[in-house]
């Protein structure tokens, strides 16, 4: 693979050529999925889709959607399109009760992944001369290895720092001449706080860029990070179901994320009707993988709400941009990089006492670290005259939450009728974090 | 012999103690004695009153969670060693004290203490055998109430 640059290569492919490439690849992946994956075969048969005679992008709306539940239900390997001996890597999503989402890669898939991440890094202005500290978690989570392979493909010097041990991260950043750091934006805030405590002079560091993703963050936060630290803060987008980080990335304009359209076909749909929407209209992002071999995804509903820009980008890239993602069409939230559904909290509460009390989740941020508080209304059944019994209840709930989500939650017992009831969907999550 | 004590769950935040107390006042209920156990996040308000059934209703109508616990009211001489002697009796009988608090000053040189024991019946036997006066509810509340 030719090393990606910021002014040439597939990002700048003429649109007509790109459209033709997408259609060709779409036909191939539809056939591959039909022939090798029972779920896609069934769904396409039911929808009356003829995989052999599929014409390309113009027909994409005839294909059925794939949703997260399909991945859970096919745990672990039900959606694989290749035999295990062709699979060289498995990853799994974080923070779920019971079954995680398992994703698979052939050798070629790993190469494509590295290529798109490398193109993302190049679009931030990084190159082979950079020293990149990768503080995304290494392991089953796609963030760590995803950025790692991409940074290596770029030709940069990669430091596999992974997460945690903030003092050591700062030491590495300072002593190894790190020029770019990759981590979640909230972790970077935490790192900045600690660095200030240690008296680090930001201007003396070689650090000039931050590659932030895995959770939503606002323009306001970007401006704050850039002004306070002097580095450029860039957004990178991805999801394990599609490939991991590297589905999309900002360019130096920092106004929307380019989707690597030669590998991922984006659509925006109306989340209620499923109808495709034109560029410029807001809706749910749907992605189809054009080159994945081990686990192709056909019209995967991401539940992320965004818009595809109708206007071209000044950077000259022909691959279209999506607006930065700030909210979802479901009630999932992200805390310390872990995806959490309120339903998981419910499952945990039920496991404690076999009843589901009225509860509310309050998210705050202290010194850059996400905090989660679960407020639970005390009922007559729950109430004991003994303080120790009540404290014991709090601990059991906290322990169950930690066991389920992998993160510590504070548990507060509150008086009855203090949690707001609402018609229809209850507002379970109060997110007080300034993003 | 057992007294019906009300326990009320309240959050440990400013302004949360008033509502139960004011609700009882508004309903004309006189509190015989009370205590407040606190943790960082919540408290348990314990109330002894003659009209405990009415008080429970009033508090529940005010939207609070209330439970009823059986406790003992024990008479001890109001002098140094008064409580110590009572404790000697219960400890010898292997009975544990969950918590205790006192009534305000009583006439006649006697103090009255409210105890929750982990085994009330055993406590009653041990105390009565040792000549300690475990008050019946009528004596607790007095004539005036």
Is B71-141 in the same CATH topology as B2-69? Answer: no
Query: Of A295, A329, A363, which residue constitutes the final position of a domain?
Result: A329
Alpha helices in A360-410 (DSSP H): 387-405
CATH number of residue A372's parent domain: 3.30.300.30
Angstrom distance (rounded) from CA A257 to CA A209? 16
User: Is residue A155 domain-shared with residue A271, that is, in the same domain?
Assistant: yes
CATH number of residue A138's parent domain: 3.40.50.12780
State the angle between helix axes of A387-405 and A342-353 in degrees (0 to 180), rounded to the nearest 10. 140
Residue A278 is given by DSSP the state -
Interface test with B, best of A362, A415, A419 (most B CBs within 10 A): A415
Contact B44 A379 (CB under 8 A): no
User: Is residue A397 domain-shared with residue A311, that is, in the same domain?
Assistant: no
Q: Provide the CATH number for the domain formed by B2-69 in this structure.
A: 3.30.2130.10
For chain B, give every domain's residue range.
2-69, 71-141
**Residue A282 resides in a domain:** yes
Angstrom distance (rounded) from CA A286 to CA A114? 22
Place of tokens 């009390």: A357
Average pLDDT over residues A150-163: 97
What's the complex ipTM? 0.83
User: Is residue A293 domain-shared with residue A414, that is, in the same domain?
Assistant: no
Query: Of A294, A329, A364, which residue constitutes the final position of a domain?
Result: A329
Torsion angle of alpha carbons A287, A20, A27, A2, nearest 10°? -70
A421 to chain B: which residues are within 8 Å by CB?
A: none
**Residue A5 resides in a domain:** no
Q: Are B115 and B97 in contact (CB under 8 A)?
A: yes
How far, rounded to the nearest angstrom, does the alpha carbon of residue A297 sit from its chain's CA centroid? Answer: 16
User: Is residue A322 domain-shared with residue A341, that is, in the same domain?
Assistant: no
User: Is residue A324 domain-shared with residue A340, that is, in the same domain?
Assistant: no
Question: Nearest CA to CA, how far is B7 from chain A (Å)?
Answer: 6
Q: What is the pLDDT of residues B58-84, one digit of tens each?
A: 999 999 999 999 999 999 988 899 999
Question: Nearest CA to CA, how far is B52 from chain A (Å)?
Answer: 16
Q: Are A274 and A286 in contact (CB under 8 A)?
A: no
Angstrom distance (rounded) from CA A51 to CA A34? 7
Q: What is the pLDDT of residues A304-318, one digit of tens each?
A: 999 999 899 999 999
Tell me the backbone φ, ψ of residue A141, rounded to 5 degrees: -65, 135
Residue of A378, A386, A412 with shortest CB distance to B65: A378
Count how many domains chain A has.
Answer: 2
User: Is residue A261 domain-shared with residue A371, that is, in the same domain?
Assistant: no
B16 to chain A: which residues are within 8 Å by CB?
A: 415
pLDDT at A1: 65
B69 to chain A: which residues are within 8 Å by CB?
A: 385
Q: What is the pLDDT of residues A24-81, one digit of tens each?
A: 999 999 999 999 999 999 999 999 999 999 999 999 999 999 998 899 899 999 999 9
User: Is residue A53 domain-shared with residue A117, that is, in the same domain?
Assistant: yes
* Residue A362, pLDDT above cutoff 80: yes
Angstrom distance (rounded) from CA A309 to CA A253? 14
User: Is residue A113 domain-shared with residue A199, that is, in the same domain?
Assistant: yes
Q: What is the pLDDT of residues A372-428, one digit of tens each?
A: 999 999 988 899 999 999 999 999 999 999 988 888 899 999 999 888 766 555 677
Q: Are A11 and A123 in contact (CB under 8 A)?
A: yes
Place of tokens 């303080």: A387
B145 pLDDT band (50/70/90 cuts)?
very low
Specify the 3-state DSSP secondary structure of A275: coil
B42 to chain A: which residues are within 8 Å by CB?
A: 390, 412-413
Q: Provide the CATH number for the domain formed by B71-141 in this structure.
A: 3.30.70.260
Q: What is the pLDDT of residues A220-276, one digit of tens each?
A: 889 989 998 999 999 999 999 999 999 999 999 999 999 999 999 999 999 989 999
Q: Are A94 and A339 in contact (CB under 8 A)?
A: yes
Angstrom distance (rounded) from CA B13 to CA B127? 39
pLDDT at A98: 58
**Residue A4 resides in a domain:** no
Query: Of A329, A348, A366, which residue constitutes the final position of a domain?
Result: A329
User: Is residue A379 domain-shared with residue A286, that is, in the same domain?
Assistant: no
Angle in degrees, CA A206, A179, A110, rounded to 5: 175
Chain A residue nearest residue B43, CA to CA:
A387
Contacts 24+ apart (CB under 8 A), A167-172: A167/A194, A167/A198, A169/A133, A169/A135, A170/A194, A170/A195, A170/A198, A170/A200, A172/A133
Range of the domain at A370: 335-431
Interface of B with A (CB under 8 A): 5, 7, 9-11, 16, 37, 39, 41-42, 44, 46, 63-67, 69, 98, 116
Question: Nearest CA to CA, how far is B6 from chain A (Å)?
Answer: 9
Contact B66 A380 (CB under 8 A): yes
């Amino acid at each position: 693979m030719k090393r990606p640059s910021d002014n040439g290569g597939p990002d700048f492919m003429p649109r007509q050529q790109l459209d033709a490439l997408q259609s060709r690849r779409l036909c191939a992946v539809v056939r591959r999925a039909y022939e090798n994956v029972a779920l896609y075969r069934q769904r396409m048969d039911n929808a009356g889709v003829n995989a052999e005679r599929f014409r390309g992008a113009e027909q994409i709306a005839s294909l059925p959607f794939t949703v997260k539940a399909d991945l859970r239900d096919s745990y672990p390997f039900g959606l694989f399109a290749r035999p295990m001996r062709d699979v060289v890597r498995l990853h799994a999503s974080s923070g779920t009760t019971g079954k995680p989402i398992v994703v698979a890669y052939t050798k070629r898939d790993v190469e494509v992944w590295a290529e798109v991440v490398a193109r993302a890094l190049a679009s931030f202005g990084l190159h082979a001369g950079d020293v990149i500290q990768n503080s995304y978690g290494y392991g089953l989570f796609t963030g760590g290895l995803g950025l790692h392979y991409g940074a290596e493909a770029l030709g940069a010097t990669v430091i596999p720092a992974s997460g945690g041990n903030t003092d050591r991260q700062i030491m590495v950043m300072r002593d190894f001449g790190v020029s770019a750091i990759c981590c979640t934006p909230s972790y970077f805030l935490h790192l900045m706080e600690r660095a200030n405590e240690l008296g680090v002079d930001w201007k003396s560091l070689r650090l000039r860029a931050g590659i932030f993703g895995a959770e939503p963050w606002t323009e306001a936060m970007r401006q704050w990070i850039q002004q306070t630290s002097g580095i450029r803060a860039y957004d990178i987008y991805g999801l394990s179901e599609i490939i991991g980080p590297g589905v999309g990335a900002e360019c130096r304009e920092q106004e929307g994320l380019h989707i690597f359209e030669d590998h991922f076909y984006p659509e925006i749909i109306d989340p209620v009707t499923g109808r495709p929407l034109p560029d410029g209209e807001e809706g749910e992002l749907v992605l189809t993988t054009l080159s994945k071999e081990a686990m192709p995804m056909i019209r995967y509903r991401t539940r992320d709400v965004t818009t595809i820009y109708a206007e071209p980008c000044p950077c000259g890239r022909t691959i279209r941009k999506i607006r930065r993602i700030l909210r979802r069409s479901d009630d999932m939230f992200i805390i310390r990089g872990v995806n959490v559904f309120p339903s998981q909290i419910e499952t945990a509460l039920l496991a404690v006492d076999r009843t589901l009390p009225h509860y509310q989740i309050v998210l705050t941020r202290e010194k850059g670290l996400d905090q989660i508080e679960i407020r639970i209304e005390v009922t007559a059944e729950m109430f004991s005259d003994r303080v120790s019994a009540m404290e014991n209840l709090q601990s059991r709930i906290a322990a169950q939450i930690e066991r389920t989500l992998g993160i510590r939650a504070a548990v507060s017992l509150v008086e009855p009728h203090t949690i707001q009831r609402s018609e229809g969907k209850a507002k379970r999550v109060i997110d007080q974090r300034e993003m | 012999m057992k007294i019906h004590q009300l326990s009320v769950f309240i959050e440990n935040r400013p302004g949360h103690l008033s509502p139960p107390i004011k609700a009882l006042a508004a309903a004309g209920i006189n509190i015989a004695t009370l205590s407040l156990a606190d943790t960082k996040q919540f408290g348990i308000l314990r109330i002894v009153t003659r009209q405990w059934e009415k008080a429970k209703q009033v508090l529940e109508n005010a939207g609070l969670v209330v439970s009823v616990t059986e406790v003992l009211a024990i008479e001890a001489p109001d002098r140094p060693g008064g409580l110590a002697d009572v404790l000697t009796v219960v400890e010898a009988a292997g009975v544990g004290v969950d918590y205790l608090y006192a009534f305000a000053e009583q006439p006649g040189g006697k103090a009255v203490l409210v105890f929750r024991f982990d085994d009330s019946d055993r406590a009653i036997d041990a105390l009565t055998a040792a000549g300690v006066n475990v008050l019946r509810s009528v004596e607790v509340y007095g004539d005036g109430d």
